[in-house]
Chain A
Amino acid sequence: MIKSGQSANKEFLLFLGCAIPYRVSSYEISTRKVLAKLGVKLVEMPDYNCCGLPIDPVNHEMMLSLAARNLCVAEQKKLDIVALCPGCAGTLRKVNKKLKESKELREKVNGYLKEINMEFHGTVEAKHLLQLLVEDVGLEKIRDAVTKPLTKLQVADHAGCHVSRPSKQVSFDNSEDPEVLKNLIEATGAKHVDYKDKLSCCGAPIAGVNDKIPLQLAREKLSSMRNAGAQILVTVCPFCHMMFDTNQLRIERMFTETFKIPVLHYPQLLGLALGFSSSDLALRDLRVDPSGIISPYAMEGS
């Protein structure tokens, strides 16, 4: 089960991946603000490369090597990794676990790593932001830090597949009945809203090969959360965020429907409750304007 809050002031290596700096800086900006306030120190990766996930379909060995190389960099720095993208976090966690457990696989991958004078030892952990928040900061500390509770705000969540699946390898939260993001939303004082097929994928991973199915999937989910009364959707994945925020207008046009559901990265939601202003949290970067809905809670800031 989820341990909480033993090790405040812990340092983590921040693994940004590609999608966040490419398109979703607001996630990074708000995360840095919120973690600093909660006493978590982020150290920049000295050098990093793709987590490996995007090319797993092409060459599994290359995926393993890329992930392992990142883990080796963290081992050299003697620091655990925190990744904001569940794809990166899941990949690093999975590969870390597999290489620790299987001597055969470890030897194989170390054979590749030898070419670059690195060796996997299995001495660090990799976590997703959500995991850091509940395990290393703790719900209690988060609740205590809230100065502007988001009372009455109705918030739906879409955690993203790789936060907890494949469950045997990622080993975090309950993949069939997740509670982590729900608890974190409630910690801000907001009301958590459940909706139909919450666990279902947003479709983003196949956007490069099929442009219709992902939009249909995202549309279905947006309809379900709207019908459940959600005012805001919270995500913790750059790809899910692009599906629901960046594409929302397109989906509305395509299906002649209206959603107008602002999509906040969880640290943006938490940041509001911690008293940060809209501009601190880069809320203006969002495509679906949240200002109307959050105006009772947010300071404008400069």
Chain B
Amino acid sequence: MSDAAAKPGRDEDAGKAARIGINAPIRAHELNLGFKYEISAMHDGEKLKQCFQCGTCTSDCPIARFSDTYRPRMIIRMAQLGLRDRVLSSDTLWLCAACFTCTDRCPQDVEVASVIRILRNFAVREGFMPLIFRELGSNILRIGVAYEIPELRLKKREIVGLPPLPKSDLNDMLKLANATGFSKTLKETERK
């Protein structure tokens, strides 16, 4: 991994992605030939190999319209080629809004947004995760939902006559997080 690669947990503007060499010439030693199989073994990643680079995903992507660096077609191609480190350490990976326009319109049935989700799951395991996700993740373990409802809001609910919010079973959250490896992920990204 190049030394300019994103630091774990960094929460940076993707405009800086060019710096991490997303467009740099490809070197043979970078290619991880097993990467596409790793992805297509994952749920919803099966069709990665079918992409024929038509560019529909990028041309219809709302984020690509306003970003100089975010190009879903390019991410798919990097995944196919096996540019594992480059794609997983890239900040642009975190710009997808998961609007699923690409998935709906891909003529080759590639689940583009889901492939990006798979890449993100892999990236997290390598220690790359924007800060916001650690916050959301630890909230789920602490309170069962991603955003903590402030006391004031809860009081206001009462005043306007809304029923109290149901509670979450935090024991269950912890057990599920342990079983799925989510707890481990959170701990590891903290350490790195």
Contacts of A203 in B (CB 8 A): 62-63, 97
Bound state CA distance, A62 and B67, in angstroms? 30
Q: Are B97 and A60 in contact (CB under 8 A)?
A: no
Q: Are B103 and A57 in contact (CB under 8 A)?
A: no
A22 within 8 A of B: yes
Q: Are A49 and B169 in contact (CB under 8 A)?
A: yes
What would be 14 A-B contacts, judged by CB atoms less than 8 Å apart? A25-B157, A49-B168, A50-B144, A50-B168, A55-B136, A58-B129, A59-B181, A111-B179, A115-B179, A161-B100, A165-B100, A165-B101, A200-B62, A212-B66
B176 within 8 A of A: yes
Bound state CA distance, A44 and B166, in angstroms? 7
Closest chain-B Cβ to A64's Cβ sits at a distance in Å of: 8
Closest chain-B Cβ to A224's Cβ sits at a distance in Å of: 13
Contact with B along A28-46 (1 / 0, CB 8 A): 1100100000000000111
Partner of B132, one of A28, A66, A209: A209
Q: Are A217 and B136 in contact (CB under 8 A)?
A: no
Q: Are B177 and A62 in contact (CB under 8 A)?
A: yes
Bound state CA distance, A246 and B31, in angstroms? 45
Q: Are B104 and A167 in contact (CB under 8 A)?
A: yes
Q: Are B120 and A58 in contact (CB under 8 A)?
A: yes
Contacts of B99 in A (CB 8 A): 161, 165, 200-201, 205
Closest 10 CB pairs of A and B: A208-B132, A201-B99, A165-B100, A62-B182, A61-B180, A18-B145, A54-B146, A161-B99, A57-B120, A166-B100
Q: Are B13 and A57 in contact (CB under 8 A)?
A: no
Closest chain-B Cβ to A285's Cβ sits at a distance in Å of: 10
Query: Could you tell me the dominant secondary structure of chain B's interface residues?
Result: helix
Q: Are B95 and A50 in contact (CB under 8 A)?
A: no
Q: Are A69 and B124 in contact (CB under 8 A)?
A: no
Bound state CA distance, A16 and B165, in angstroms? 9
Q: A21-B157, A44-B163, A115-B179 are in contact. Are A213 and B136 (CB under 8 A)?
A: no
Contacts of A16 in B (CB 8 A): 165
Size category of the binding interface on chain A: 35 or more
Q: B residues 160-174 with Cβ under 8 Å of A? A: 160, 162-163, 165-169, 171-173
Known: A48-B144, A115-B178. 11 other contacts (CB 8 A): A45-B166, A47-B169, A49-B168, A55-B182, A58-B124, A112-B180, A116-B172, A165-B99, A165-B104, A175-B104, A208-B132
Contacts of A60 in B (CB 8 A): 42-43, 117-118, 121
Bound state CA distance, A36 and B138, in angstroms? 36
Closest chain-B Cβ to A121's Cβ sits at a distance in Å of: 18
Bound state CA distance, A59 and B42, in angstroms? 12
Q: Are A50 and B94 in contact (CB under 8 A)?
A: no
Contact with A along B144-156 (1 / 0, CB 8 A): 1111111001001
Q: Are A55 and B179 in contact (CB under 8 A)?
A: no
Partner of A213, one of B67, B120, B150: B67
Closest chain-A Cβ to B47's Cβ sits at a distance in Å of: 12
Query: Measuring CB to CB, which residues of chain B are less than 8 angstroms from any residue of chain A?
Result: 11, 13-14, 42-43, 62-63, 65-67, 94-101, 103-104, 111, 113, 117-118, 120-121, 124, 129-130, 132-133, 136-137, 140, 144-150, 153, 156-157, 160, 162-163, 165-169, 171-173, 175-182, 185
- A52 closest partner in B (C-beta): B140
Bound state CA distance, A56 and B136, in angstroms? 11
Q: Are B172 and A49 in contact (CB under 8 A)?
A: yes
Closest chain-A Cβ to B110's Cβ sits at a distance in Å of: 12
Q: Are B168 and A201 in contact (CB under 8 A)?
A: no
Q: A18-B146, A57-B120 are in contact. Are A66 and B101 (CB under 8 A)?
A: no
- A167 closest partner in B (C-beta): B104
Contacts of B43 in A (CB 8 A): 60, 105
Q: Are B11 and A209 in contact (CB under 8 A)?
A: yes
Q: Are B153 and A22 in contact (CB under 8 A)?
A: yes
Q: Are B160 and A206 in contact (CB under 8 A)?
A: no
A293 within 8 A of B: no
Contacts of A69 in B (CB 8 A): 172, 176
Contacts of A249 in B (CB 8 A): none
Q: Are B147 and A18 in contact (CB under 8 A)?
A: yes
Contacts of A183 in B (CB 8 A): none
Q: Are B173 and A210 in contact (CB under 8 A)?
A: no
Closest chain-B Cβ to A215's Cβ sits at a distance in Å of: 9
A178 within 8 A of B: no
